[in-house]
Amino acid sequence: MAAVHLGTVIESGTEAPDFTLRDQDLNEVSLGDFAGRKLVLAFYPADFSPVCTDQLSIYQEVLGEIEAKGTTLVGVSVDSAFCHHAFREHLGLTMPLLADFHPKGEMSSAYGAYREDRGANNRSLVLVDEDGVVRWSYASPSTREIPGANLIFDALAA
């Protein structure tokens, strides 16, 4: 079986692409809403899948530590806002989940996290600084590999 190229996530030093997406409560959320704060975008394939459930549960466990560093963590997938609402409730998540639902994957594509071959996001992390500039990014080499919370803390410390 041939290896699948997972794509290239957005590079450090790039101005973060603007976006406006709906969150789990149907509120519009834009990049500008995070001005003056660091933002970690955690791209993931799908709500309720076993690996995504583990990934977001891990991030929830350390969310207080991330927020204590002046950083907001937001999950992004191509699922609908309604699916995000149920997923958050099911897992007891408090982080916002953004629905890159229609046009499907448009925002995720701008950040290099969308996989056209699967119709879903790759597991990717992007750190945007207080001025809207990408300072760090990571793309998981496998859809089964969770980018650990340690990567987020290392990026925030750098």
Q: Which residues are catalytic?
A: 52
Determine the Cα–Cα distance for residues 115 and 16; give it in Å rounded to an integer.
19
DSSP 123: -
Residue with tokens 């806002």: 81
Determine the Cα–Cα distance for residues 25 and 12; give it in Å rounded to an integer.
31
**Phi and psi for 125 in degrees, rounded to 5?**
-125, 140
Q: What separation in angstroms does the CA of 60 have from each of 20, 32, 55, 149?
A: 23, 23, 9, 10
E strands, the chain, where?
Answer: 20-23, 28-30, 38-43, 71-77, 97-99, 114-115, 120-121, 124-128, 134-139
Residue with tokens 């071959």: 117
